[in-house]
Amino acid sequence: MPRLTVKKYQSKELGKLIEYILFHRPDEFGLFLDDDDSLPIKELMWALHEETGWKHIRLGHLKELAYSGLELAFTLEETQIRPKREVSKTASDTLPPRLLFIGARRKAYPVILKHGLRPGSRLYVPLATTEEMALRIGKRRDPKPILLTVHAAQAHDSGHPFFTCGDLLYLVKTLPAPFLSGPPLREPPPSRKIPKKEPPKPLKPEVPEMTGSFLLDPERDPDPMRRQRRKREKEQKRQRTKERRDKKRRRS
């Protein structure tokens, strides 16, 4: 496998871009830091791949950058990237706009409509101030996310806190389903299972029932002459059949 390399000037540019994301505008890239200032590396990679000129970046490039000798303002851990100095964040509850948006995975959409929003592996759920940003974030997990509208002001008035993350994102820990609206759920298509065909039952020969009648068995004929005649006829028939088969074999 060829070794992943980034040219020196690209390493500097990549380092500056990551520093800008972590310290200044993570919301501009649809990202947010947790309370300990950490960010999952995979989410950083998703955002970098959306930027022109950085679609080729892989984890190996970031590791190479960490050992390049450049003075970096962040460190790489196993699954997280973390600024070396504390990043100032707004930790207090903030009044959100009337409406916010989120792009949900299609598989998760029915669950969200029933149980609301939950953070999963992160501490918060990011809500976008624009539909475009919501869909951008949603497409990182599903190529065709479903857009949900969040009635944020109503939820805040009901006691649910919102936290700002720059100008484009708000964060919530949970949000009940009544404050969410989206397209109606599609009913599952009717089952198209073809019923299994039962094998036909063998037909029994119908024997007419006649009162006081019985069936004659030729083998039990009381006349010995007739029994011998039938026996000879059967034997002659078998002999003729055998002769025909022998003729066919000789011809072939």
pTM above 0.85, yes or no: no
Residue 1 has a pLDDT of 43
In SS3 terms, 112-124 reads as HHHHCECCCCCCC
* Domain coordinates in residue numbering, the chain: 8-83, 100-181
Q: Which of 2-16, 50-64, 73-87 has the lowest mean pLDDT?
A: 2-16
Q: Which of 62-66, 149-153, 158-162, 194-198 has the lowest mean pLDDT?
A: 194-198
Residue given tokens 């948006």 in the structure block: 101
Q: For 100-181, CATH number?
A: 3.20.170.30
Do 8-83 and 100-181 share a fold? no
Give the CA angle between residues 30, 34, 36 to the nearest 5°.
Answer: 145
Contact yes or no for 109/93 (Cβ under 8 A): no
Q: Which of 25-39, 115-129, 146-160, 215-229 has the lowest mean pLDDT?
A: 215-229
Q: Residues 6 or more apart from 14 whose CB is under 8 A from it?
A: 6, 54, 57, 61, 65
Residue 250 has a pLDDT of 79
What is the rounded average pLDDT of the residues 3-10? 57
C-alpha to C-alpha distances, 76 to 62, 97, 182, 216, nearest whole angstrom: 8, 35, 38, 99
Q: For 8-83, CATH number?
A: 1.10.10.970
- Taking only the tens place, the pLDDT of each residue in 89-144 is 656 789 999 999 999 999 999 999 999 999 989 999 999 999 999 999 999 999 99
| Structure confidence at residue 189 as a pLDDT band (50, 70, 90) | low
| Structure confidence at residue 219 as a pLDDT band (50, 70, 90) | low
DSSP 218-232: GGG-S-HHHHHHHHH
